[in-house]
Amino acid sequence: MSIWRRISDFITTTAVDAFSSIIEAVRTAFEGDPETRRRVAFSIAMIALSAKMAKADGIVSQAEVNAFHDIFHVPEQYQDQVTRLYNLAKQDVAGYEAYATQLASLCGSGHRNCQMLEDVLDGLFHIAKADGALHDKELTFLGTVAEIFALDEEKFDRVLARHVGRGQADPYLVLGLARNVNFETARKQYRALVRENHPDMLIARGVPEEFIAIANQRIAAINAAWEQVEKDLKAYERV
């Protein structure tokens, strides 16, 4: 069943008037179905934090709206329910820190699907950079969310590196490599990252199929970084 159908049915049958209530309702409604709960939790995390981040720099640009829809391909029949969720999150007096904390617990921070929280952060970066720049307030927002998600500085820097402008990203940082790495070690790391970030792996840890644009963009950044590192290391070994 489509994740949007799941969310639509959930919203239609759940009487809530605040976003914090929705989070707790998800925990209860899908208690016996952890796979669906992870998928719903991911979707709601993206909607809620996207709404809060849109207000981080005080300006919601059309580019950011378009980026939101790059990730959220919502069928027309479910758009009203998604819009309701977005507006509830945007209007709620609770700060984004409270949402991130609740959602980290719901998604499973510290457990086997903690990687899914990095996927949430990746999606937020995609939206934040859509207007051509990552503003200071947006970076503060993203950094705080990463801390609440228990993602360390190294992981945050790797996500950040994937999203900086083409030609500015540090390919070694994107791949998590030391500068003095040898070719075979670098290639093993590259191949491991490709396996880890394959769309099937994201789906296995709770990212709905409807959000696989995140995986495709991540793989593209990893491939671009490897192309540069491979060239550098082969040139170094020929010296």
Domain encompassing residue 210: 3-238
**Quick check: pTM over 0.75?**
yes
- Number of structural domains, the chain? 1
Q: What is the pLDDT along the chain (239 residues), one digit of tens a residue?
A: 578 888 888 777 776 666 667 777 777 777 777 777 777 877 877 788 888 887 776 666 677 777 777 777 778 888 887 887 877 777 765 678 877 887 787 665 444 446 778 888 888 888 888 777 778 888 999 999 999 988 888 889 888 988 876 556 789 999 999 988 999 999 999 999 999 888 888 887 777 776 777 788 889 889 999 999 999 888 776 54
DSSP string, 160-219: HHHHSPTTTS-HHHHHT--TT--HHHHHHHHHHHHHHTSHHHHHHTT--GGGTHHHHHHH
* Residue 101: C-alpha distances to residues 64, 95, 108, 145, 196 (Å): 24, 10, 11, 8, 25
Provide the CB-side half-sphere exposure for 51 (13 A, CA).
23
| Of 186, 185, 198, 197, nearest in space to 226 by CA | 186
Distance CA(145)–CA(124), nearest Å, equals 10
Q: How many residues are present in the chain?
A: 239
- Dihedral over alpha carbons 168, 171, 175, 181 (to 10 degrees): -150
